[in-house]
């Protein structure tokens, strides 16, 4: 996977994952590991969460569970549209790799 590593989807994915179920940082890490194959290092995930929080897109409760703010939901929806527009033919991709 030297070429086409597709960096850059991580922040979007975090929003997407949290949007489905609010969870803590470690759980997010495990969920990302399932998808990517490798577990992101703490130095990847916590700064990303911090940034999203700073932007007001996610919030954190007393149990360190992260969830989307109303703004975060809006942003997720808009990013999702963007994503689906770029990959409008993703079903073909699914078919293509069996």
Partner DNA sequence: TAGTATATATCGGATAACCAATACTACACA
Partner DNA sequence: TGTGTAGTATTGGTTATCCGATATATACTA
Q: Which residues contribute to the site for DNA (CB under 7 A)? A: 4-11, 24-27, 38, 40-44, 46-50, 60, 64
Q: Using CB under 8 A, which residues numbered 16 to 75 contact a copy of itself?
A: 16, 35-37, 52, 55, 57, 75
Residue 95, number of CB atoms within 10 A of its CB = 9
Binding segment (CB under 8 A) for a copy of itself, from list 4-12, 21-29, 39-47, 61-69: 4-12
**62 binds, options DNA, a copy of itself, none, Cβ within 5 to 8 A by partner type:** none
> What are the tokens at 55?
């932007």
Burial class for 19, CB neighbours closer than 10 Å (0-12, 13-18, 19+):
middle
Closest distance of CB 56 from DNA, Å? 16
């Amino acid at each position: 996977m030297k070429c086409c590593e597709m960096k850059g989807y991580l922040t979007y994915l975090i929003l997407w994952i949290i949007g489905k179920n609010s969870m803590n940082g470690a759980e997010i890490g495990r969920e990302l590991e399932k998808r990517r194959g490798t577990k992101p290092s703490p130095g990847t995930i916590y700064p990303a969460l911090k940034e999203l929080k700073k932007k007001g897109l996610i919030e954190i409760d007393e149990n360190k569970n992260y969830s989307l703010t109303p703004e975060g939901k809006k942003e997720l929806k808009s990013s999702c549209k963007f994503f689906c527009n770029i990959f409008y033919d993703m079903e073909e991709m699914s078919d293509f790799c069996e």
